[in-house]
Amino acid sequence: MGVGAAVRGFLGILWRLLDGVRKTLHLILLLTIAGFLVAAFHTSIPSVPKSAALVIAPEGELVEQLATDPLRRAFGQASGGPAPETLLKDVTDAIDAAKNDSRIKLIVLDLAQMDKSGLSKLQEIAAVLRDFRLSGKRVVVAADFLDQDQYYLAAQAGEVYLDPLGSIEITGFSYYRMFLKEAIDKLGVDVNIYRAGTYKSYTDQYSRSEMSAAERQESTVWLDALWNSYQQDVTRARSLPSKALSEYIGDEPAALAAVNGDAAKLALQKGLVTALKSRRQVADELKGLVGEDEDTHSFNAVGLNQYLVSVRSKLVLKSKSTAHVGIVVASGEILDGRQPPGTIGGDSTVDVLRQARYDNSVKAVVLRVDSPGGSMFASEQILREVQNLRKAGKPVVVSMSTYAASGGYYIATAANQIFASPTTLTGSIGVFSVVPTFARTLAKLGVAVDGLGTTPLAGAMRLDRNISPEMSKLLQNSVEHAYAVFMQRVADGRKKSVEDVDKIAQGRVWAGVDAQRIGLVDHLGGLKDATEAAAKLADLGSDYETQYIESDLSLREQLLMQLHSHVARAGYALGLFPGPSSIAEILDPVIRQAKDIARLNDPRGLYAYCWCQEPRDLRQALKGSTSLK
């Protein structure tokens, strides 16, 4: 046998071996997929007891859209702690369905694992809870401790029971930022800032050591709007005097001393709770209303996820309408390109809107916005697709959640109508660009940069050189042009003159109640109100259904999620992954700001972004670190 024949024989054997491995792996993959399909089709619809309480226990932050970052969600599940997020629509859908469900006798709110969430989202839940109670059914809360957001929802219940050793923490709203100018100066970094708008304060953290008078003025207005709305909603729900909460906070030190530090007793005296009872006492009493679960020896109950699977499965089977109001969620920062859910991508969000445009069953669209803004270029792409929807004869109504500011407002301007919550933070119509340079930093280390270019602008954007006067002028002109474009978009959409828009723009943040007064939004209301308005604009009457339009996770993303989850669980079991530290929590604002800047990716470096959110205070950052469990 010649050498050539031997080589061909060897290669033939190798090919057959590799082909066999390929076929085996292919078979395993097909069997895995088949297993998923069989499991999916043979999973029975969860049963709901004939008499039960619906237990709603939100975990983590309430969000408009779940983020799909595999590590974030996998670690949240693997650590044994609460999931990092709960979908707002899951909570509202469950409450709405339970209202007319004869099997559900009452709702029990378990708020212990709910993290800080936007007030507008809490108001959405409060609205459906009020509607549920109007049906004659009870809403009960049994808690050990309640923070400010948790108590807002608890107050909407007819019965609020607090453990005799528990407490309620209400402090009001605050807005504090870290200013980095002195630290930046010590490091020798030059942060070159270009902005348009008197109130556009996002970049002040790099150029100032304290809050500007303009930012203090505007922040006072929207903070007061949030606090007034919170007080009004809680005191009305609990039938308390209008100033009850302010007086409770103002008198708390002396009042607490008068009851020997008994916070639960003070909460009862002030009417914040119905009675002092442990969760076990409340559970035992509920057995008489809905019966006892023989396995848990507690009251008959059905959880949120189990209940949703049951009711949504039946809704799918009963669905007959061919007319839909499509709901597109735009949640998170606005970035260019394709981005995962939980972030607004210029290309990916446009794809979803195009899907709604070419779907003949979708007659109108509600764009649900929960965003502080971001890339102006991506915002413009999304705005153009909203315009295309309207040109196609499909009305678009924007529903604003917690934030719809800067770029979040930009993408709303082309809608037929805009709805906002009274506490939505919106407006912030302004533009900025930030370019850090490190020539002075390098000079401290003895590093110098020298060279030449063929034009004054050649090499002008190197981060190791100071920005030239020519480039500075170019950047400022670009920002001012972008601001003019932003104002024109608002003027066109709001049917105002550019001059009138400029008076209420300048980067100023407005609460929804004030934004409606000055014409930035049309109506105050929630997602349900916006959906009904969209259906009315499309002349659908009452014969329509809502349809969330979104990009599904690919098989690869689902498999990655599973893989990360298994790795994370193993890591926590072996002690390889430490839990969150208090120091990390305290530094969270700095870390988040650094991440925000690093993520922004507008091709021209122009951003419509608002740092208008209430950071967690130290007590919330450390919550649980010294608790008795």
Q: Which residues are catalytic?
A: 200, 406
Sign of the Cα pseudo-torsion (383, 384, 387, 389, in order): negative
Helices (H), 518-602: 527-537, 555-573, 582-586, 588-599
Neighbours of 113 (CB within 10 A): 14
Write phi, then psi, for 224 (nearest 5 degrees): -65, -40
Residue at token pair 């499309």: 538
Three-state DSSP string of 284-333: HHHHHHHCECCCCCCECEEEHHHHHHHHHHHHHHHCCCCCEEEEEEEECC
Report how far apart the first and last C-alpha atoms of the chain are (Å, whole number). Answer: 79
CA distances from 573 to 80, 81, 312 (A): 10, 13, 36
87 CB-contact burial (10 Å; exposed 0-12 / middle 13-18 / buried 19+): middle
Q: What angle do CA 107, 304, 118 make, to 5 degrees?
A: 85
Please compute, for residue 598, the number of CA atoms within 13 A of its CA located in the half-sphere on the CB side: 6
Query: Please, are residues 80 and 339 in contact by the beta-carbon 8 Å criterion?
Result: no
CA distances from 379 to 330, 346, 371, 411, 434 (A): 11, 7, 11, 6, 18
> Which positions ≥6 away from 333 have C-beta within 8 Å?
343, 344, 371, 372, 373, 374, 596, 599, 600, 609
Contacts 24+ apart (CB under 8 A), 492-495: 492/413, 492/414, 493/412, 493/413, 493/414, 493/415, 494/413, 494/519, 494/520
Structure tokens at 562: 């599973």
Among 65, 127, 113, 112, which residue's Cα sits nearest to residue 90? 65
Structure tokens at 156: 């909407």
Among 566, 429, 565, which residue's Cα sits nearest to residue 505? 429
Query: Please, are residues 203 and 229 in contact by the beta-carbon 8 Å criterion?
Result: no
Overall size of the chain counted in residues: 629
